[in-house]
Amino acid sequence: MSPPPLLRLSALGKRFGGVRALEEAHLTLEAGTVTALIGENGAGKSTLVKILTGVYAPDQGEIEFDGRRVRIASPSAAEALGISVIHQESVVFEDLSIAENVFVTHPPRRHGLIDWVDMRRRAGALLRQLESGLDPRALLRGLSVAERHVVQIARALSHEARLVIMDEPTAALSQHEADDLLRIVARLRGEGRAVLYISHKFEEIFSAADRYVVLRDGSTVGAGRITDTNLDELVRLMAGRAVAQLYPERRSAPARSAAPGGALPGGAPMGEEILRVHQLCCADEFEGVSFALRRGEILGIYGLVGAGRSELMQVLFGLRRPRSGRIELHGQPLELRNPGDAIRSGIAFVPEDRQNQGAVLGRSIRDNVALPSLARLGLGGWASTARETALAAEWIAQLQVRCQGPAQALQELSGGNQQKVVLGKWLATAPKLLILDEPTKGIDIGAKMAVHRLMRELATQGLAVIMVSSELPEVLGMSDRILVMRRGRVAAQFDAGSTSAEQVLHAATVA
Amino acid sequence: MTVRTFKPSREWGLGLLTLAMVLALSAHWPQFATAASLRSALDDTAILILLALGQMLVIVTRGIDLSVAANVALTGMVVALINHAHPDAPIVLLAALAMLLGGGLGAFNGLLVWRLGLPPIVVTLGSMAIFRGLVYVVSGGVWVTSDKMSPAFQELVRAPFLGFSTLSWLALLGTIAAALWIRYSRAGRRLYLVGSNPAAAAYVGVDPGRAQCIAFTLSGFVAGLCGYLWVARFAVAYTDVAAGFELQVIAACVIGGVSINGGSGSVPGVLLGCLFLGVVRNALPLIGVSPFWQMAVSGLVITIAVVLNERGRGDQHRRILELPNT
């Protein structure tokens, strides 16, 4: 009778408020194998990892370790079982030495006192085992990302880890460093440990993994041996679902027609070109980005984390300086030194981080709505509360914000209504170009639909909209055109009506 | 067993600078380098050393204790009053009492920071005022002068032992104890974990609030002891004892390389920071800087030292007042 698998997750479920992060997740890991965990953003991978490392408890389902049912109640419990995780924003203490970081939870002791000599010796041995020349006395602060990963792996080894979870380990590494890391992964496998490898890089997956598991919308939709599958199949599993009729009707636009003001069947005329970006480069973030945008058009920008989408938007809004390239608004070159310039040019930006960047949650709806328009609402340098209140009331009505009135504090509203207020404040500036970064993140389905309807209405009225989104269905459903970014470059541009989820995903993930 | 210094080059620099100052001063004013004069300078600096070590523990955990000087004043006044009322009570007992009281005051700070989650700067700004106000309350505004204190009370600090006063020995013992504790005990290391990365510390099972509370309590114990030492050494207890001294204490820490961001700082560094300040303070009257200018010059020296220290640090700068949700 063969030994039970090292880890078996059965029908795991987890919800946060109204959102089901995991639905029916299954996972089986055997010792001495490398299993790739694949899925697009929001599929549930990080929730799964957090459950395995004791940060969350599942609402449903079972976890079996070595054939025994277990409850992983805390990170220490996970560690005690032999589960370790390595990710970028991790448990590292920059002011302390490598040796101390490796043994942070269990420093070697002699007569009750910490034994530094033994700690350094054992850390050195682990580092050498990983073929690293790092000095255990070195502080973590000066280390590169690749070197920090090695330290974390050393920590996992110091715990006799039986399952090592790696979350996008090569995301910030050079090719050379990535190769070194994959060699370490192979070594871990050879030592009989199980590795759960989360990555979007299919080249790595096919070269390093033995098995694969695909998550989609919180459920496992496919699993098996990597040799039994291929790239297309994996992409299909990741993306494939019918794009539900959740999105407003898109106007049918002729494919990339440059004719300005051409009238279209069933809709208002799609306007003239309003924005042209030519070979825009920003040091270390993106390069050679070129695209155009017309009035009334919604351009969806899709890509994985690190693709450079948000940085591109920041340049368009004057938050970041480009190194080279041209931006033209209405045919005139645009020089943006700061967001103020952008606002004066008619550009509005709704950032991804609503809590810290998009809104002032502690203030009232009125204060928020009036914020970018204070100059024109005021009377010679003095604020006019009456005008601000009137403006807020106008937008509350137009956007149907559910609230007690303009004086209510923004943080008391639901996420969806907060987002409406943020949109209202920008629409009050009568922009020509509206940039939205993850506009429906963290919002329930009803509010999502309302925001989408609003976006479509605005576009119909002639506003040019750029929408950055990590949700493939949203990008497909809302955009007129899709621009896919990958590792700082434009990988492809599609007309939304004539492309598919697989094509978009393919462009975003594959070389 | 080497006491590992955080940035050896930094402490060496500070040590050499201090040594250079001492040599330069004694070349010009030989009376500076006499044994008696140096012993006296050490005595002067002993209390600063003890308080700075306690403060270091707090700063390492990303906190700050502005109430140490007021703590000294209050505990000093209390034991002076007890000594006045009971001249026969053993002095060692009084010193222990002072430590307990000081520890209690420190725990007050620590509990507010831990349980209520209040920023340390706000808590200790308040307790600084409370403690000092209580000095006035317990004394009724009356000074306890040397004639009201028993001879034993005043002599213990001066009592020579192997050439050094009790005061200097306490500073030395405190330094050694602190160095050993933060290096070889898990509790001591936890302070550094918490200061370096509180979120990660919580992840590995170390409660940042609890560690800060422990640091405040220890700082309070030390301040309590220094309360007795101060009033005994200067043979007087009144409301304004050690007024403003908390700034010298914090300056000594910062000059000594303790990062305001938390997570780093060494005992040798703090010791050197105190000695540096001690030399500066003793040098000024020697050079003939008028007493009116001494405070300004001393402050200027501290400012320059702090600026150089923080410039050398480069990277992250954090606020002392922690904003929520960031």
Query: What does the pLDDT look like over B216-225, one tens digit per residue?
Result: 999 999 999 9
Taking the C-alpha atoms of residue A139 and residue A99, their distance in angstroms, rounded to an integer, is 9
**Long-range contacts of A305-308, Cβ-Cβ distance < 8 Å, separation of 24 or more:** A305/A41, A305/A168, A305/A171, A305/A470, A306/A171, A306/A172, A306/A487, A307/A485, A307/A486, A307/A487, A307/A488, A307/A508, A308/A282, A308/A485, A308/A487, A308/A488, A308/A489
Burial class (CB in 10 A: 0-12, 13-18, 19+), A24: middle
User: pLDDT-derived band of residue A445, with 50, 70 and 90 as boundaries?
Assistant: low
CB contact under 8 A, A91 and B200: yes
CB contact under 8 A, B193 and A105: no
Which of A87, A95, A102 would you mutate first to test chain B, the one with the most B CBs within 10 A? A95
Does one domain contain both A286 and A199?
no
Taking the C-alpha atoms of residue A494 and residue A509, their distance in angstroms, rounded to an integer, is 15
A107 interfaces chain B, CB cutoff of 8 Å: yes
CB contact under 8 A, A356 and B185: no
Phi-psi region of A318 (alpha: psi -120 to 50; beta: other; left: phi over 0): left
* Residues A244 and A233: beta-carbon distance below 8 Å: no
CB contact under 8 A, A355 and B325: yes
B315 vs A contacts (CB less than 8 Å): 141
Task: Tell me phi and psi for residue A168, to 5 degrees.
Answer: 45, 55
User: By percentage, how much of chain B surpasses pLDDT 70?
Assistant: 92
Tokens matching residue A355: 């809590």
Asked casually if ipTM beats, i.e. exceeds, 0.90, the reply is no
Which of A55, A93, A98, A148 would you mutate first to test chain B, the one with the most B CBs within 10 A? A93
Which residue would you say has higher pLDDT here, A198 or A175? A198
Does one domain contain both A301 and A443?
yes
State the DSSP H helix or E strand holding residue B326, giving kind and residue range, or none if neither: none
Q: Which residues of B47-86 are buried (b: 16+ CB within 10 A; e: fewer)?
A: bbbbbbbbbbbbbbbbbbbbbbbbbbbbbbbbbbbbbbee
* Residues A348 and A373: beta-carbon distance below 8 Å: no
Instruction: Record the pTM.
Output: 0.74
A105 interfaces chain B, CB cutoff of 8 Å: yes
Residue A50: inside a domain, yes or no?
Answer: yes
Does one domain contain both A154 and A84?
yes
Tokens matching residue A283: 């040091």
CB contact under 8 A, A94 and B193: no
A116 vs B contacts (CB less than 8 Å): 4, 183
Taking the C-alpha atoms of residue B134 and residue B70, their distance in angstroms, rounded to an integer, is 9
On the question of pLDDT at A138 being above 80, the answer is yes
Residue A247: inside a domain, yes or no?
Answer: no
On the question of pLDDT at A135 being above 80, the answer is yes
Find the CB nearest A93 among B6, B186, B197: B197
The single-letter code of the amino acid at B40 is S
* Residues A335 and A324: beta-carbon distance below 8 Å: no
Q: List, for residues A356-375, the tens digit of each pLDDT value.
A: 788 898 899 999 999 998 88
A-B C-beta contacts closer than 8 Å:
55
Per the structure, the count of domains in chain A is 2
Section B155-178 average pLDDT: 91
Residue A174: inside a domain, yes or no?
Answer: yes
Segments in chain B forming alpha helices (H):
8-28, 35-60, 68-85, 91-115, 120-139, 151-158, 166-184, 186-196, 198-203, 208-234, 245-255, 267-287, 291-313
Provide the pLDDT for residue B51.
Answer: 98
The single-letter code of the amino acid at A296 is G
Q: Which of A192, A213, A239 is the last residue of a domain?
A: A239
Question: How far is residue B19 from each of residues A35, A499, B4, B15, measured CA to CA in Å?
Answer: 61, 75, 21, 6
B257 interfaces chain A, CB cutoff of 8 Å: no
Provide the pLDDT for residue B217.
Answer: 98
Provide the pLDDT for residue A308.
Answer: 86
* Residues A175 and A13: beta-carbon distance below 8 Å: no
CB contact under 8 A, B205 and A95: no
With CA atoms as reference, the chain A residue closest to B203 would be A75
A62 three-state secondary structure: strand
The single-letter code of the amino acid at A24 is E
Provide the pLDDT for residue B312.
Answer: 65
On the question of pLDDT at B307 being above 90, the answer is no
A374 interfaces chain B, CB cutoff of 8 Å: no
With CA atoms as reference, the chain A residue closest to B181 would be A113
How far is residue A380 CA from its own chain's centroid?
Answer: 44
* Residues B48 and B226: beta-carbon distance below 8 Å: no
Does one domain contain both A218 and A332?
no
Q: What is the CA radius of gyration of chain B?
A: 19
- CA distance, residue A455 to nearest chain B CA (Å): 30
Section B131-159 average pLDDT: 91
A445 three-state secondary structure: helix
Q: List, for residues A273-288, the tens digit of each pLDDT value.
A: 899 999 999 888 888 9
On the question of pLDDT at B323 being above 80, the answer is no
User: pLDDT-derived band of residue A164, with 50, 70 and 90 as boundaries?
Assistant: very high
Residue A458: inside a domain, yes or no?
Answer: yes
- CA distance, residue B15 to nearest chain A CA (Å): 22
Q: How many residues in chain B?
A: 326
User: By percentage, how much of chain A surpasses pLDDT 70?
Assistant: 92
A96 interfaces chain B, CB cutoff of 8 Å: yes
- Contacts with B304 (C-beta within 8 Å, 6 or more apart), sequence order: none
Which of B3, B197, B313 would you mutate first to test chain A, the one with the most A CBs within 10 A? B197
Section B107-113 average pLDDT: 97
Does one domain contain both A289 and A175?
no
Provide the pLDDT for residue A243.
Answer: 41
B146 interfaces chain A, CB cutoff of 8 Å: no
Tokens 């390595």, located at residue: A86
CB contact under 8 A, B204 and A75: yes
Residue A434: inside a domain, yes or no?
Answer: yes
On the question of pLDDT at B321 being above 80, the answer is no
CB contact under 8 A, A104 and B204: yes
A74 interfaces chain B, CB cutoff of 8 Å: yes
Provide the pLDDT for residue B22.
Answer: 85
Provide the pLDDT for residue A464.
Answer: 94
Find the CB nearest A93 among B183, B196, B326: B196
Section A455-475 average pLDDT: 89
Provide the pLDDT for residue B283.
Answer: 81
B61 interfaces chain A, CB cutoff of 8 Å: no
With CA atoms as reference, the chain A residue closest to B3 would be A116
Q: List, for residues B236-272, the tens digit of each pLDDT value.
A: 999 999 998 998 999 899 889 898 889 999 999 999 9
Find the CB nearest B264 among A95, A104, A114: A95
Does one domain contain both A389 and A446?
yes
Instruction: Return the number of other C-beta atoms located less than 10 Å from residue A382's C-beta.
Output: 7
The CATH number of the domain holding residue A64 is 3.40.50.300
The single-letter code of the amino acid at A282 is C
Taking the C-alpha atoms of residue A371 and residue B65, their distance in angstroms, rounded to an integer, is 39
Residue A28: inside a domain, yes or no?
Answer: yes
B217 interfaces chain A, CB cutoff of 8 Å: no
Residue A246: inside a domain, yes or no?
Answer: no
Report the CATH number of the B8-313 domain: 1.10.3470.10
Taking the C-alpha atoms of residue A422 and residue A360, their distance in angstroms, rounded to an integer, is 10
Does one domain contain both A111 and A206?
yes
Provide the pLDDT for residue A511.
Answer: 57
CB contact under 8 A, B197 and A91: yes
Taking the C-alpha atoms of residue A496 and residue A190, their distance in angstroms, rounded to an integer, is 46
Angle, CA of B176, B177 and B183, to the nearest 5°: 90
Q: List, for residues B171-197, the tens digit of each pLDDT value.
A: 999 999 999 999 999 999 999 999 999
Please give the torsion angle defined by the CA atoms of residues B129, B133, B138 and B139, in that order, rounded to the nearest 10 degrees.
120
The single-letter code of the amino acid at A255 is A
CB contact under 8 A, A95 and B185: no
Taking the C-alpha atoms of residue B316 and residue A242, their distance in angstroms, rounded to an integer, is 48
Provide the pLDDT for residue A241.
Answer: 52
User: By percentage, how much of chain A surpasses pLDDT 90?
Assistant: 45
Does one domain contain both A93 and A177?
yes
Angle between helical axes of A415-427 and A385-399 (0-180°, round to 10):
120
Does one domain contain both A167 and A70?
yes
- CA distance, residue A93 to nearest chain B CA (Å): 6
With CA atoms as reference, the chain A residue closest to B201 would be A91
B205 interfaces chain A, CB cutoff of 8 Å: yes
**Of the listed ranges B22-31, B124-133, B159-168, the one predicted with least confidence:** B22-31
Q: List, for residues A224-270, the tens digit of each pLDDT value.
A: 999 999 887 887 888 765 444 567 777 544 433 434 444 333 344 56
User: pLDDT-derived band of residue B313, with 50, 70 and 90 as boundaries?
Assistant: low
Taking the C-alpha atoms of residue A286 and residue A312, their distance in angstroms, rounded to an integer, is 7
Which of B191, B196, B326 would you mutate first to test chain A, the one with the most A CBs within 10 A? B196
Tokens matching residue B36: 């008696």
Which residue would you say has higher pLDDT here, A51 or A352? A51
CB contact under 8 A, A113 and B184: yes
Does one domain contain both A330 and A435?
yes
Per residue, the 3-state secondary structure of A253-318, as one string, reads CCCCCCCCCCCECCECCCCCEEEEEEEEEECCCEEEEEEEEECCCEEEEEECCCCCHHHHHHHHCC
CB contact under 8 A, A113 and B200: no
Q: Which domain holds residue A209?
A: 7-239
So where are chain B's domains?
A: 8-313
Which residue would you say has higher pLDDT here, A11 or B11? A11
Provide the pLDDT for residue A246.
Answer: 61
Taking the C-alpha atoms of residue A494 and residue B176, their distance in angstroms, rounded to an integer, is 70
* Residues A10 and A33: beta-carbon distance below 8 Å: no
B9 interfaces chain A, CB cutoff of 8 Å: no
- CA distance, residue A207 to nearest chain B CA (Å): 33
Does one domain contain both A186 and A329?
no
Taking the C-alpha atoms of residue B187 and residue A53, their distance in angstroms, rounded to an integer, is 25
Does one domain contain both A224 and A294?
no
What is the pLDDT of chain B when averaged over all its residues?
Answer: 87
Provide the pLDDT for residue B317.
Answer: 45
* Residues B70 and B132: beta-carbon distance below 8 Å: yes
Which residue would you say has higher pLDDT here, B25 or A421? A421
Residue A498: inside a domain, yes or no?
Answer: yes
